[in-house]
Chains A and B, each alone.
Chain A
Amino acid sequence: MATEGTRPMLEIRNLHALAGGMSILHGIDLLVRAGEVHAVMGPNASGKSTLSNVLAGRPSVEVTQGEVLFEGRDLLALSPEERAREGIFLAFQYPVEIPGVSNSYFLKAALNAIRKHRGEPELDAMEFLQLAREKMKLVEMDEKLLHRSINEGFSGGEKKRNEILQMTLLEPRLAILDETDSGLDIDALRIVAGGVNALRGPQRAMIVITHYQRLLDYIVPDRVHVLAGGRIVRSGGKELAHELERRGYGWLEAGAAG
């Protein structure tokens, strides 16, 4: 567990953002230190995905106010690929299907882009395959999926495992999991959580975005934040998640209006 003295990895200050021309985030403040796992919970349309998209740099999301610092640097000034290379990873809620591009080609290109940025030697095809096989075991993913087009015809569970596979390959410093639990059965959830937990460490932070408390039985957070109406309306320890499970979001949403 990180202590209060650890330097901040991510600082979000008074963040306002538009998505699809609509004002979604109305002043988010969040501090995440290395080694911590933060859960962001909230009802549908509370702004959870917009927050993850702001952090990853989706061009269609517009920040209108506030700032985001990643290890002291202005994150919003970086392109999505620069953020990825600096160590930010977003596990997509809806991983995109890309016909005609093999998963293995994509994973190798991504890994080598990041290794190159870190000043590490790029992996050749054989080295990559060996590494990918090792990591695929961790997420119990069929090796055949390496040779298929990216996410094309993958089941919901396979897509999410592919996201976690990418995360374990790229070894980010800040991982954001956007509703990675949605659409997963309990076995898949356990496997995905296992992959995430294997990556926890003192140098790494995670933001786990979820609607349900269920995932947090497997990935136990240090802090829990409730997002409602584009603001964080309550923060607490992991017990807050259990309270939400019991009471729902209604009692907090009422306070977020206006």
Chain B
Amino acid sequence: MGALETARDHYVARHAAWAAARPDEPAWLARLRREAAASFAATGLPHTRLEEWRYTNLTPLARVPFELATGSPEISREALEQVSFPVYACSVFVFVDGIHRPELSAPRALSAGVRVLSLAELLASEPERVEAELGCLVDPKLHPFAALNTAFLDDGAVLLVPRGVRLSQPIHVVFASSGAEPDRVRHPRVLVVAGPESRGEVIVDHVDLAPARGFTNAVIEVRVERGAELGLILVQREADRTFHVSNLAARVERDARLSAHTVTLGGSLVRNDASVLLAEEGASCRLDGLFAGNGEQLLDHHTLIDHAMPHGESRQLYKGILGGAARGVFRGRVIVRPGAQRTDAEQSNPNLLLSPGAEVDSKPQLEIHADDVRCRHGSSIGRLDEDALFYLRARGLDEGEARDLLTRGFAAEVLDALPVAALGTALTALLATRLGRPAEGARP
């Protein structure tokens, strides 16, 4: 039996034991988990013969028999703030090893009616509130890891923004891994419902408190209702031994707008899927991404934008920066359904290679079934511009600083556009550190 099959059997067995120990839960929840587990058992871990997984061999992930975390380790607020800056300007909700930690959270200044809840608490107190929402946007049959997450559905963050409310501060959800035990898996879950005409920003942040090997398997479901505007920032700044798989599934309704920004700076093997359904007329989305890798990192990003109805607009900008022997993958699919006239879609994937050993595979894919549309895509792979390097050096900057500055300049298009500016500054500094050179001060 191969590693992928062994891993599937391992998780299926763990799920059976885990589910058997939770007999008193609502029937719909047990069924949701059971069906997800069955779906995962049927597909297993995807192999590289599948087009969607062609560049990402999961054998290294499959070889480790990851277990759920058991304890609830002591974590200080200081230790947390060191890895999840800037926490001060936001309402913060903290999960450690997948479990909500109210004593580390700071839910300040929430606007009227806004609810930020622990999923585990909600499932215990008013499960009917999320029965209709959970699991309806992400398709477990298409995404085996989303199925695995759903099979172990337990705790996570539920954010409910009522009609017409504007969030006064961003909501910062931190999923921290303690590293207290080795080889642990967590299945973070986020549900965001941005009510009609609401406005707000949400940060979902994955961090490691210690550099232990682990596996994060996240699912984020988002509904942006009629006329709402949601800014979503997904940050992955875990340690370099962490495996990270994430599925973002979003539905954008009439005249609503989602801007989702994915920033991937850590992890040994990372696979992020983002799929957005522009479900009603006039829905729009912006999907930005920055992935920066070094060493042996593999950073794989897949996007899918589904233009289901007329007058939709989508903009995608994914930028890759790869040094060492790192590998990047970007596959961006845009589907324009029959009748989705006046669709306006743009996709761009520029990549910067910092070393001869780095590699990137870029694959745009447009599937257009309507005739009155405007769709454009482009990708490029380049190195630092020699003329620009010389220009900076001719002004006294040494070669390393010049390379750093140009690399940051390349990233700025994504990081400077984050809807939470302080986070952009922090991530710019972290980018320089992760790429192997200390930051020479933040950008002005």
Interface residues in chain A, defined as those with a beta carbon under 8 Å from any beta carbon in chain B: 56-60, 79-81, 83-85, 89-90, 92, 95-96, 98-102, 104-106, 109-110, 113-114, 117, 125, 147, 149, 166, 170
Which candidate, B151-159, B275-283, B383-391, is the interface stretch facing chain A?
B383-391
Please determine whether A95 and B409 come into contact, CB atoms closer than 8 angstroms.
no
Q: Which of B312-341 contact A (CB under 8 A)?
A: none
B416 at the interface (CB under 8 A from A): yes
Q: List 29 A-B contacts (CB under 8 A).
A: A56-B394, A58-B394, A60-B386, A79-B393, A80-B393, A81-B393, A81-B398, A83-B394, A84-B394, A84-B396, A98-B391, A98-B392, A98-B406, A98-B409, A99-B412, A100-B408, A100-B409, A100-B410, A101-B405, A101-B408, A102-B443, A106-B392, A106-B405, A109-B397, A110-B396, A110-B397, A113-B401, A149-B409, A166-B395
Please determine whether A100 and B393 come into contact, CB atoms closer than 8 angstroms.
no
Q: Name the contact of A84 in the complex, choosing from B393, B405, B408 (C-beta under 8 A).
A: B393
In the bound complex, what is the Cα–Cα distance between A99 and B416 (angstroms)? 12
Q: For A117, what are the chain B residues with a Cβ–Cβ distance below 8 Å?
A: 396
B356 at the interface (CB under 8 A from A): no
Please determine whether A81 and B386 come into contact, CB atoms closer than 8 angstroms.
no
In the bound complex, what is the Cα–Cα distance between A83 and B398 (angstroms)? 11
Instruction: Contacts A56-B394, A125-B444 given; indicate if A79 touches B399 (C-beta within 8 A).
Output: yes
Please determine whether B444 and A104 come into contact, CB atoms closer than 8 angstroms.
yes
Q: For B395, what are the chain A residues with a Cβ–Cβ distance below 8 Å?
A: 84, 106, 110, 113, 166, 170
Closest to B391 in A: A96
Please determine whether A80 and B443 come into contact, CB atoms closer than 8 angstroms.
no
Please determine whether B398 and A92 come into contact, CB atoms closer than 8 angstroms.
no
Q: Which of B400-444 contact A (CB under 8 A)?
A: 401-402, 405-406, 408-413, 416, 440, 443-444
Q: Name the contact of A95 in the complex, choosing from B391, B397, B402, B406 (C-beta under 8 A).
A: B391
Q: Name the contact of A90 in the complex, choosing from B394, B397, B406, B444 (C-beta under 8 A).
A: B394
Q: For B391, what are the chain A residues with a Cβ–Cβ distance below 8 Å?
A: 92, 95-96, 98
Q: For A102, what are the chain B residues with a Cβ–Cβ distance below 8 Å?
A: 443-444
Please determine whether A57 and B444 come into contact, CB atoms closer than 8 angstroms.
no
CB distance from A111 to the nearest CB of B (A): 8
Closest to A108 in B: B444
Q: For A90, what are the chain B residues with a Cβ–Cβ distance below 8 Å?
A: 394
In the bound complex, what is the Cα–Cα distance between A80 and B390 (angstroms)? 7
Please determine whether B386 and A59 come into contact, CB atoms closer than 8 angstroms.
yes
Please determine whether B396 and A101 come into contact, CB atoms closer than 8 angstroms.
no
Q: For B440, what are the chain A residues with a Cβ–Cβ distance below 8 Å?
A: 109
CB distance from A72 to the nearest CB of B (A): 21
CB distance from A247 to the nearest CB of B (A): 35
Q: For B393, what are the chain A residues with a Cβ–Cβ distance below 8 Å?
A: 57, 79-81, 84
CB distance from B243 to the nearest CB of A (A): 31
Please determine whether A58 and B396 come into contact, CB atoms closer than 8 angstroms.
no
Please determine whether B394 and A100 come into contact, CB atoms closer than 8 angstroms.
no
Please determine whether B416 and A114 come into contact, CB atoms closer than 8 angstroms.
no
Please determine whether B390 and A100 come into contact, CB atoms closer than 8 angstroms.
no
In the bound complex, what is the Cα–Cα distance between A89 and B399 (angstroms)? 17
Q: For B392, what are the chain A residues with a Cβ–Cβ distance below 8 Å?
A: 98, 106, 110
Q: For A147, what are the chain B residues with a Cβ–Cβ distance below 8 Å?
A: 444
CB distance from B388 to the nearest CB of A (A): 5
Q: For A125, what are the chain B residues with a Cβ–Cβ distance below 8 Å?
A: 444
Q: For A101, what are the chain B residues with a Cβ–Cβ distance below 8 Å?
A: 405-406, 408-409, 412
CB distance from B139 to the nearest CB of A (A): 37
CB distance from B290 to the nearest CB of A (A): 12
Instruction: Contacts A101-B406, A109-B440 given; indicate if A58 touches B390 (C-beta within 8 A).
Output: yes
Please determine whether A100 and B444 come into contact, CB atoms closer than 8 angstroms.
no
In the bound complex, what is the Cα–Cα distance between A218 and B398 (angstroms)? 34
CB distance from B418 to the nearest CB of A (A): 14
Please determine whether A109 and B401 come into contact, CB atoms closer than 8 angstroms.
yes
Closest to B385 in A: A96
Q: For B444, what are the chain A residues with a Cβ–Cβ distance below 8 Å?
A: 102, 104-105, 125, 147
Q: For B411, what are the chain A residues with a Cβ–Cβ distance below 8 Å?
A: 100
Closest to A146 in B: B444
In the bound complex, what is the Cα–Cα distance between A236 and B276 (angstroms)? 71
Q: For A96, what are the chain B residues with a Cβ–Cβ distance below 8 Å?
A: 385, 387-388, 391
Q: Which of B367-390 contact A (CB under 8 A)?
A: 385-388, 390
Query: Given A81-B393, A92-B391, A109-B401, 5 more contacts at CB 8 Å?
Result: A58-B390, A81-B394, A85-B396, A105-B443, A113-B395
Q: For A98, what are the chain B residues with a Cβ–Cβ distance below 8 Å?
A: 388, 391-392, 405-406, 409
Q: For B402, what are the chain A residues with a Cβ–Cβ distance below 8 Å?
A: 81
Q: For B405, what are the chain A residues with a Cβ–Cβ distance below 8 Å?
A: 98, 101, 105-106, 109
